[in-house]
Amino acid sequence: MLSIGKLSKATDVKVPTIRYYEQIGMLPQADRTAGNQRAYSQATVERLTFIRHARDLGFSLQSIRDLLELSDKPDQSCAEVDRIAAQQLAEVSRRIMRLTALKDELDRMLHHCACGTIAECRVIEVLGNHDLCEGRHEGDL
């Protein structure tokens, strides 16, 4: 059994995040020692490692929750798991396209700047007038 601090070190997940995952039901409530400290099993280490890796890959908490539920049923088809992963891949592809558009626009702004004074700075001009941009790049990543 591990303390919350040791679990944190073993999984590289911060203590407040571990408590949050317990609070929202992604991790089971920890057993308690006689001194009322949390004590975590190896199964919790594995589950938290799964969650951490899925978060590193950009999966939403709801997708991770769904994947965890599916992983608890090892004999069923993995079609739903594949669907969730494909959906995440599509989202990553959209983000890459958006980031590429942002990079291209920033490159263009810098390329067209004469590096003179602020009064004639192309970067400032473009940032002040969205119509001067070539591509569409509004919204969140």
* pLDDT, tens digit (0-9, with 9 covering 90-100), for 74-129: 999 999 999 999 999 999 999 999 999 989 988 988 888 777 888 888 888 888 88
Q: Which residue has the tokens 């059994």?
A: 1
Q: In 1-141, where does DSSP find H-type helix?
A: 4-11, 15-23, 42-56, 61-71, 79-111, 122-128
Tens digits of residue pLDDT in 27-39: 998 888 888 888 9
Check residue 8 and give left, alpha or beta (phi > 0: left; psi -120 to 50: alpha).
Answer: alpha
Spatial distance between the Cα atoms of 61 and 115, rounded to a whole number of angstroms = 45
In this prediction, residue 141 has a pLDDT band, given cuts at 50, 70 and 90, of low
Task: Give me the percent of the chain exceeding a pLDDT of 70.
Answer: 96
Average pLDDT over residues 3-24: 95
- Which residues lie below 8 Å from residue 112, measured CB to CB, with a gap of 6+? 122
The predicted pLDDT at position 49 comes to 97
Q: Which two tokens stand for residue 28?
A: 């089971």
Is 140's pLDDT higher than 60? no
Who has greater pLDDT, 45 or 119?
45
Is 15's pLDDT higher than 90? yes
The predicted pLDDT at position 5 comes to 94
Average pLDDT over residues 127-135: 81
The predicted pLDDT at position 37 comes to 86
